[in-house]
Amino acid sequence: MLGLLKFELYKIYKQKSIYILFALLIAIISTGGWIDRSSEKVIYQGYQKWEGKLTAEKINKLDRIREDGNKKSDTGQEFTFKEHLLYSISMVIFQQTNFTEERNKEITQLKEKIQQTPLSYKKRQDELKKDMLSSIDTSDFYYPKGPAIMLDMIYTFGFVITAFMTIIGIGPIFSKEYSSGMDQFLLSSKYGRSKAVTAKILASLLFILSVIAMWSLYSVARSAYSFGLHGWKSSIQSVIQFLESPYPFSLSSAFTLMMMIHVIAALAFGVLVVFISAVSKKVIVSVLTSGVIFGLPLVLDTVLDYGGTKKVWVDRFISFSIYQFMKVKELFVGFRTYNFFGYPVLQPILAVILSFLTIILFWFITQWIMKKKQITV
């Protein structure tokens, strides 16, 4: 088995197209991505003074800075760099404290609602939300730029790199055997319908893991170089896209969790691509089909996001697509649960379960198909 796995890995990594594509994608995302480190250092020093527990004293001071800044802004006066920095910090804290107040109000409303509602899915859902909101701790303040950029990499470029590399690297894994005529050796040999299939799937998964490791390393290196490696203790709500997130995570746990979900969803997509390749006689068919499965919800999401009209079924289709699971972000921005025998299941948990089911199902189907495979022409 190990021998076959080595050969399958060799076949995947011998494809020049994967290196060209990876280099191209990294080149695209690197354009304008590097920051002036000296000014960034000054910004961080500005933030550093306010880091730690957000005391009433700190909040009062920042309130005054914000009010002065507002006056200056209204009268059209210019800000010095330092003033602008302080004003920005005061605005961030203001936004954060406002949302904390709103969250507390929602918790109170939920408590009242729970008392009035009889035991049901709705009640359990409200209880879950109340518990989650109550666990959020935004009393600490840290400059989160570095971790925020790393988090951003997952749902802006990272998931696209993983998907493109999977489609190009794994798409030909079986269909190239058919188009080259090598399938006859495979199907007539002792392990060609069993261990070789397992080896192909395992090699695909290892390839995907290596792709994710590569762009993650790039992302970490870039963020660490530009912004440093601090801010991980900050809450996920300190990142503007997750301001209303009900998940009580620090940025370090959010990043770990989101990367794990991305990996699981990417492996599910990988097994799906292997299956598509196993049933496609031509490489182009395999690549295009895989591309459509990943790309269609992405296109719908992007187009309809600008159009602003999403029908319920389209929303469901996008929510349960492999694209959305790999992107991860939307799973954590809001509170979304699904009724499972009267119990609410959070969308990220459902995404992980569905990804695992996809892996198991398509792994099994691919093995079965190859066991029964016949050459027809």
Partner 1 sequence: MNLAIEHVTKKYGNHHAIDDISCEFSNGVYGILGANGSGKTTLMRMLATVTTPTAGIIRVNGKNILSLGDDYRDMIGYLPQHIGLYKNFTADKFLHYIAALKGLSKKEAALKIEELLDLVNLMDVRKKKVGTFSGGMKQRIGIAQALLNDPKILIVDEPTAGLDPKERIRFRNLLSSISGERIVLLSTHIVSDIEFIAKEVLILKNGRLLHKRNPQELLHEIAGKVWLVTTAESEIPRYQDMFKVGNIVRSESRVELRIISDDRPSLAAILTTPNLEDLYLYFFEEDFDAGPVKV
In the complex with partner 1, the residue whose CB is nearer, 177 or 330, is 177
Measured distance CA(313)–CA(304) in Å, rounded: 13
**Ranges within 91-150 binding partner 1 (CB under 8 A):** none
Phi, psi of 120 (to 5 degrees): -160, 180
Q: Are strands 337-340 and 343-346 parallel, antiparallel or unpaired?
A: antiparallel
Phi, psi of 346 (to 5 degrees): -65, 145
Stretch that binds partner 1, among 84-92, 182-190, 216-224, 280-288 (CB under 8 A): 182-190
Measured distance CA(133)–CA(325) in Å, rounded: 23
Measured distance CA(312)–CA(316) in Å, rounded: 6
The single residue among 180, 256, 302, 339 that binds partner 1, judged by CB under 8 A, is 180
The single residue among 191, 232, 317, 338 that binds partner 1, judged by CB under 8 A, is 191
Measured distance CA(290)–CA(1) in Å, rounded: 27
User: How far is CA 321 from each of CA 171, 188, 211, 315, 368, rounded to the nearest angstrom?
Assistant: 19, 37, 21, 10, 25
The single residue among 165, 196, 208, 328 that binds partner 1, judged by CB under 8 A, is 196
Measured distance CA(232)–CA(54) in Å, rounded: 16
Cβ of residue 186: shortest distance to partner 1, in angstroms? 7
Cβ of residue 176: shortest distance to partner 1, in angstroms? 9
Q: Report whether 267 contacts 354 (CB < 8 A).
A: no
Cβ of residue 294: shortest distance to partner 1, in angstroms? 28
In the complex with partner 1, the residue whose CB is nearer, 7 or 343, is 7
Written as one string, the DSSP assignment of 170-188 is HTHHHHHHHHHTTHHHHHH
Cβ of residue 164: shortest distance to partner 1, in angstroms? 22
Site string for partner 1, 149-178 (x = CB under 8 A): ----------------------------x-
Instruction: Rule CB under 8 A: say whether 186 interacts with partner 1.
Output: yes
**Ranges within 335-374 binding partner 1 (CB under 8 A):** 371, 374
The single residue among 260, 292, 299, 375 that binds partner 1, judged by CB under 8 A, is 375
Instruction: Name the residues that contact partner 1, by CB under 8 A.
Output: 3-4, 7, 11, 14, 177, 180-194, 196, 371, 374-376
